[in-house]
Structure 1
């Protein structure tokens, strides 16, 4: 397996002097993905965005997959980490809500987080902040890292569901039909109020999941 892209020199050691940077290439790739989706990201397309040839990019990034890793870490730089407040749950919910904002600005990101998560410099900053927030929590290190993984995946799942809002409406329509038909008595017996568009369920879901993963009374 080749070393992480962040553990290799910025560009190949041979060839003409550098005229680009990985940061510049990554920003161009993010712009393509934000506009047209991750499937539009290719060396050729990003090179066109920069006004250069695709071969030039391979001197900085070896594969498209590396480029996607760079893109995901690049947008993780949009977090604004404040000093821990002493209320670990509020601080982690804030991280989750910031993550949702990043996903909303970059709709392609959720699929990457859920299928091929990676860690680069900005990802390491996120891990460090998460551990700083939980520095006095009695959970062990493994549980703290699991909580971060679950938090990231949960927010990505919420974000992907938001992007697929039309599909969710179609599913809700069919479930209403099933409930009215009476063929599934437990579904028919559900007493759920209609969704309130003004209500944001994510903070409550994050609180419930995080307190389940990181109980403060068990010492673990």
Structure 2
């Protein structure tokens, strides 16, 4: 039997977790390995990666600016920034522009002469796909899901408002019916009392 567990982390944790991961793991790796990063300097690569990692902390508030900063950083900050941008903006022009820029950034640097080798060609295709296209697709899916949930919530709110309005109208109609019945009954009783009083007066006079 499979159990499906849904764990919702606090928002500060989800905001800071990618930045903390990049700072604690990827920045030291970039400082030691010159191949990790867009330049040949490990110090510059580590600084760019740290900048991109720190920017991830405010990606919900400034998704496009963070994505622009992450273009100069490592692959993980860029992937997280692209996901956040697509999840916030949806299928609009801004994520499309960043998709093109991210594809160019993730495919660079490479030696065009190495494309004759299958392994090199796979590497050139792999990074834009894994760190660019996949996060964008997941972000767009999250955006569509959020819109669908919001539409369902609005629909439920309207249905609930319509139900309350119908109940109020039914209650008002019932009160009006009871008022009419009470009016008819009271009018009939008052008429009978008046007739009886008049008859009593006539009998007393006789």
Q: TM-score with structure 2 length normalisation? A: 0.26
Higher helix share: 2
Q: Tell which has more relative contact order, 1 or 2 (C-alpha 8 A, sep 6+).
A: 1
